[in-house]
């Protein structure tokens, strides 16, 4: 488990995003508020959340919320002063402990509670928090998130929330840091009786209350990221079924606006093939106890645990577009596949700090490649992945600064996925790679992890060392360039445009040779003798799942295995 270095109550924290001395150092100043939000400071370090019980009453007309939160926690060290998070303009109205009101002090979006006694470690406690206010309204959810108060096509109220990155504290009081997930959670939503309220996990009860209102109570029995806790409120219809999976019967339900039912029943058939593929590659669906749901949302989609948000218009692709431009991305619904992939990567395995959100997004991006291969074969999966490279920007490192609640570059999607594919080629054994993907989900089941945890796992699992690969692609913006030349039977080569010490192998195809050749470049020149290599008969590259046509070669020529995301340059 990672040891966090916390900068307690620093007024300004400057973090240099520096991948290598050859890169221009990028620096940004961070505030006390950033540190309070992004680090495990003294108000957080001594206690661990065990359960949230959230009761919320949204007012559609006023666009406001009132609610109560019961927070159960365990003490893991001595402590007396607790930090809770709730973002303005929401407010904490009161905090009760053992029936007594406690003093609360506000510091921006952080609220500090002073208990009447110094708690000893190893004890369980509970507080009740009353809150209210008008939450931040989402501008462009899910990217610019917050609460969503909108209407469906029939003009009826439709509400939800999308708050990844922004944080659950935009609407509910919580310990808003990914390193601490509650072991379980319950969400009760009181709405007019003309509306349905859906949330994560299983429906526990629907109770009528005064004023022609109903309270819908849902509960999850597994750890959950707070940004995944979500209500969906609207005029919904639904159907239920079950899936026979690796752990037996998986209960499923599908909730859509009442006029979308037939369209959804056809589109959501893809859930069967998704579950079959992903359970084979990643291991059992991680939340059998809580079931699986797809819920139509008033935004594109999000990986809300056991209640995946769906807003892709019941069409294949990404809003009907193929991000890879190969045509392969139009054979499946991007939101069903990608957001469900997060159930394994992001929900089952969660990054402790959002600086490591690549753990969520890179592996989930790669689940698209896995699914394409499940559907259309290995060459198709490879082609889909390669087609997404045009979306890589290489403007900033994928790993962000730690301790200040800031993600790294959006390249965590496509570049991160390509790095995982490179790792797969270096492993060179798809059975071992698949066991690694399954093993990672088993080893870190329902846990929060760090960069080092994931790297160490793959190094130990495969007996290889991926340290340089991870550092280069996640912490540096440069794409390694293989420089080479051939004179007679002598091939000379080296890596350039990379970090010092970068020595990751690369597979190349040479005109006139039967199979790919693995080279082991460094930053200094190396030479190998090509004499005596086996000659081909026809196309090369079949062992990589992609056919390399010799007609594309210069004379003499070298082509890097297209599965490897790097460049080459012939030098004189």
At 280-307, the pLDDT tens digits run 999 999 999 999 999 999 999 999 999 9
Res 531: pLDDT: 84
Establish whether the linkage from the previous residue to 89 is cis, with ω within 30° of 0.
yes
Lowest mean pLDDT among 239-253, 512-526, 545-559: 545-559
Q: What number is the average pLDDT over the span 350-359?
A: 98
Q: What number is the average pLDDT over the span 506-526?
A: 92
Split at pLDDT 50, 70, 90, the class of 17 is very low
Q: What number is the average pLDDT over the span 361-387?
A: 98
Res 25: pLDDT: 38
The parent domain of residue 213 ranges over 47-312+333-340
Cα distances (angstroms) measured from residue 61 to each of 87, 116, 149, 150, 196: 21, 40, 9, 10, 17
* 3-state SS record for 331-396: CCEHHHHHHHHCCCECCCEEECCHHHCHHHHHHHHHHHHHHHHHHHCHHHHHHHHHHHHHHCCCCC
Lowest mean pLDDT among 38-42, 95-99, 553-557: 553-557
Res 5: pLDDT: 32
301-348 tens-digit pLDDT: 999 999 999 999 999 999 999 999 999 999 999 999 999 999 999 999
Please provide the average confidence, as pLDDT, over all residues in the chain.
Answer: 92
- Give 27: exposed, middle or buried? Use CB within 10 Å, 0-12, 13-18, 19+: exposed
Residue 426 resides in a domain: no
37-91 tens-digit pLDDT: 999 999 999 999 999 999 999 999 999 999 999 999 999 999 999 999 999 999 9
Residue 427 resides in a domain: no
Res 572: pLDDT: 83
pLDDT at 9 over 90: no
Residue 380 resides in a domain: no
Res 272: pLDDT: 98
What is the percent of the chain where pLDDT is above 70? 91
Split at pLDDT 50, 70, 90, the class of 2 is very low
Lowest mean pLDDT among 170-184, 366-380, 443-457, 526-540: 526-540
Q: What number is the average pLDDT over the span 158-166?
A: 97
Split at pLDDT 50, 70, 90, the class of 512 is confident
Split at pLDDT 50, 70, 90, the class of 3 is very low
115-140 tens-digit pLDDT: 999 999 999 999 999 999 999 999 99
Residues 6+ apart with CB under 8 A from 456: none
pLDDT at 372 over 60: yes
Lowest mean pLDDT among 187-191, 347-351, 453-457, 568-572: 568-572
Res 14: pLDDT: 31
Lowest mean pLDDT among 8-17, 237-246, 449-458: 8-17
∠ CA 483-485-487, rounded to 5°: 165
- Select from 361, 367, 389 the least CA-distant residue to 564: 389
Q: What number is the average pLDDT over the span 527-542?
A: 66
Tell the residue number behind the tokens 């900068």, with chain if given: 7
Provide the domain count of the chain: 2
More confident: 532 or 524: 524
CATH code for the domain of 527: 2.60.40
Tell the residue number behind the tokens 């490591």, with chain if given: 356
pLDDT at 277 over 70: yes
Residue 148 resides in a domain: yes
∠ CA 66-70-71, rounded to 5°: 125
Res 289: pLDDT: 98
Q: Report whether 52 contacts 185 (CB < 8 A).
A: yes
Residue 321 resides in a domain: no
Residue 450 resides in a domain: no
Lowest mean pLDDT among 3-17, 187-201, 414-428, 452-466: 3-17
Split at pLDDT 50, 70, 90, the class of 11 is very low
pLDDT at 515 over 90: no
pLDDT at 97 over 50: yes
CATH code for the domain of 151: 2.60.40.1730
Q: Tokens at residue 116, please?
A: 């009447």
Residues 6+ apart with CB under 8 A from 105: 111, 112, 114
pLDDT at 557 over 50: yes
Residue 556 resides in a domain: yes
What gap in Å lies between CA 301 and CA 312, rounded to an integer?
7
Res 20: pLDDT: 38
pLDDT at 19 over 90: no
Residue 521 resides in a domain: yes
pLDDT at 356 over 90: yes
Q: Report whether 32 contacts 104 (CB < 8 A).
A: no
- 430-443 vs 451-462: helix axis angle to the nearest 10? 140
Split at pLDDT 50, 70, 90, the class of 18 is very low
Cα distances (angstroms) measured from residue 483 to each of 162, 228, 533, 562: 46, 46, 21, 16
């Amino acid at each position: 488990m990672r040891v966090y270095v916390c900068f307690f109550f620093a007024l300004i924290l400057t973090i240099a995003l520096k991948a290598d001395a050859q890169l221009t150092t990028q620096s940004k100043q961070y505030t006390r508020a950033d540190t309070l939000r992004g680090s495990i400071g003294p108000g957080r370090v001594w206690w661990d959340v065990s359960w949230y019980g959230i009761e919320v009453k949204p007012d559609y007309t006023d666009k406001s919320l009132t609610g109560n939160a019961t927070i159960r926690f365990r003490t893991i060290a001595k402590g007396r002063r607790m930090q809770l998070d709730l973002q303005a303009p929401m407010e904490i109205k009161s905090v009760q402990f053992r029936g007594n009101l406690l003093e609360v002090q506000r510091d921006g979006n952080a609220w500090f509670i002073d208990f009447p006694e110094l708690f000893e470690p190893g004890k369980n406690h509970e507080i009740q928090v009353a809150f209210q206010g008008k939450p931040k309204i989402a501008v462009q959810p899910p990217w610019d998130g917050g609460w969503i108060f909108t209407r469906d096509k029939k003009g009826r109220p439709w509400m939800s929330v999308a708050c990844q990155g922004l944080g659950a504290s935009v609407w509910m009081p919580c310990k808003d840091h990914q390193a601490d997930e509650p072991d379980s959670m319950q969400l009760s939503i009181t709405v007019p009786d003309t509306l349905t309220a859906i949330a994560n996990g299983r429906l526990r009860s629907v109770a009528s209350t005064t004023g022609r209102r109903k309270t819908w109570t849902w509960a999850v029995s597994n750890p959950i990221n707070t940004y995944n806790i979500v209500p969906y409120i609207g005029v919904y219809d639904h159907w239920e079924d079950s899936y026979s999976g690796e752990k037996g019967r998986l209960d499923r339900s599908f909730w859509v606006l009442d006029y979308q039912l037939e369209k959804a029943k056809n589109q959501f058939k893809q859930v069967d093939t998704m579950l079959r593929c992903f359970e084979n590659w990643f291991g059992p669906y991680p939340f059998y106890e809580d079931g699986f749901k797809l819920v139509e949302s008033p935004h594109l989609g999000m990986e809300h645990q056991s209640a995946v948000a769906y807003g892709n218009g019941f069409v294949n692709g990404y809003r009907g577009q193929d991000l890879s431009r190969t045509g392969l991305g139009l054979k499946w619904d991007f939101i069903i596949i990608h957001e469900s992939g997060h159930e394994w990567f992001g929900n089952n395995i969660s990054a402790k700090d959002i600086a490591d959100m690549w753990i969520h997004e890179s592996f989930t991006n790669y689940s698209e490649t896995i699914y394409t291969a499940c559907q259309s074969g290995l060459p198709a999966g490879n082609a889909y992945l390669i087609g997404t490279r045009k979306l890589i920007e290489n403007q900033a490192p994928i790993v962000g600064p730690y301790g200040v609640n800031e993600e790294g570059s959006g390249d965590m999607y496509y570049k991160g996925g390509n790095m995982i594919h490179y790792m797969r080629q270096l492993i060179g054994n798809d059975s071992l790679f698949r066991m690694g993907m399954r093993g990672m989900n088993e080893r870190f089941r329902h846990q929060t992890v760090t960069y080092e945890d994931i790297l160490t796992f793959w190094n130990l699992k495969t007996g290889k060392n991926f340290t340089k690969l991870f550092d280069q692609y996640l912490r540096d913006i440069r794409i390694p360039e293989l420089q080479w030349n051939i004179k007679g039977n002598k091939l000379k080569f080296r890596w350039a445009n990379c970090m010092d010490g970068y020595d990751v192998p690369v597979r190349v195809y040479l005109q006139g040779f039967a199979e790919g050749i693995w080279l082991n470049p460094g930053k200094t020149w190396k030479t190998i003798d090509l004499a005596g290599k086996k000659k081909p008969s026809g196309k090369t590259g079949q062992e990589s799942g992609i056919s390399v046509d010799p007609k594309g070669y210069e004379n003499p020529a070298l082509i890097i295995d297209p599965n490897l995301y790097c460049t080459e340059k012939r030098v004189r």
